[in-house]
Amino acid sequence: MVKLIGVNKINTSVFISGKGTNLKNLIKFSKSNNSPIKINIVISNQKKAYGIKYAKKNKIKIKIINFSKKHEVNQLLKILKFNNIRLICLAGFLKILSKDFIKSFKGKIINIHPSLLPKYKGLNTHERVLENNEKFTGCSVHFVNEKLDGGKIILQKKIKIFKKDDIKSLKKRVLKEEYKLYPKSIIKILSNY
């Protein structure tokens, strides 16, 4: 693969709500030579989101916005356009984006979800997967459209569920796969950019 130096990388924003371990992983990925992205700005809808510390540590701009007021969202759109953001990665971002917002970044917003979509859209996926005695689970990276967890799938990884698995172990095992799948998916969609 061609080496991408800083200036050639795609300006990217990562949206988070909580722990931010996917953000941490994407920051690490963005710094590697084969990464097509540069993370310019992190958006959190929670001012106490633990993941903000990864942005701070890496001197990445942070904006806290709770997405309930239209003028705030409009201001965010201006910031994203000003920073020439061409890719938005949702990483544990638990707010639903408005149709207008999605339209403004059509085809440029992607999300990671801890299930084998189209199964188990929404929250508490691991609980529901275990309750239903599923034999397999996994994670999916998909384009974001106006339907919840409903956009075109970019890549998925399937894993087997063991008898001894509980919510905690499953979450941990799925997250481990997420850290590989998100960078792979980004490379996949940006390789034709």
Of the two residues 35 and 115, which places its CB atom closer to ligand GAR in the complex?
A: 115
Record the tokens describing residue 53, joined without a space: 């510390």
Task: Round to whole Å and give the CA distance between 178 and 48.
Answer: 23
Among the candidate windows 1-9, 15-23, 102-110, 155-163, which touches ligand GAR by CB under 6 A?
Answer: 15-23
Position among 12, 14, 15, 20 found at the interface with ligand GAR (CB under 6 A): 20
Position among 4, 9, 11, 19 found at the interface with ligand GAR (CB under 6 A): 19
Q: Is 91 in the site for ligand GAR (CB under 6 A)?
A: yes
User: How many residues bind to ligand GAR according to rule CB under 6 A?
Assistant: 14
Q: Is 114 in the site for ligand GAR (CB under 6 A)?
A: yes
Of the two residues 4 and 46, which places its CB atom closer to ligand GAR in the complex?
A: 46
Shortest Å, Cβ 3 to ligand GAR = 28
**Cα-based distances in Å from 129 to 124, 133, 178:** 9, 6, 17
184: three-class secondary structure by DSSP: helix
Taking phi first (over 0 means left), then psi (-120 to 50 degrees means alpha), and beta for anything else, what does residue 122 get? Answer: left
CB 89 within 8 Å of CB 178: no
Q: Tell me, yes or no, if 113 is annotated catalytic.
A: yes
Site string for ligand GAR, 32-51 (x = CB under 6 A): -------------------x
Contacts 24+ apart (CB under 8 A), 95-103: 95/17, 95/45, 95/67, 96/148, 97/67, 97/144, 98/67, 98/73, 99/146, 100/73, 101/73, 101/77, 102/144, 102/145, 102/146
Among the candidate windows 7-15, 60-68, 72-80, 110-118, which touches ligand GAR by CB under 6 A?
Answer: 110-118
Position among 11, 21, 45, 156 found at the interface with ligand GAR (CB under 6 A): 21
Nearest CA to 134 out of 107, 116, 155 is that of: 116
Q: Is 157 in the site for ligand GAR (CB under 6 A)?
A: no
The catalytic residues are: 113
Using CB under 6 A, list all residues that contact ligand GAR. 16, 18-22, 51, 91-92, 112-114, 175, 178
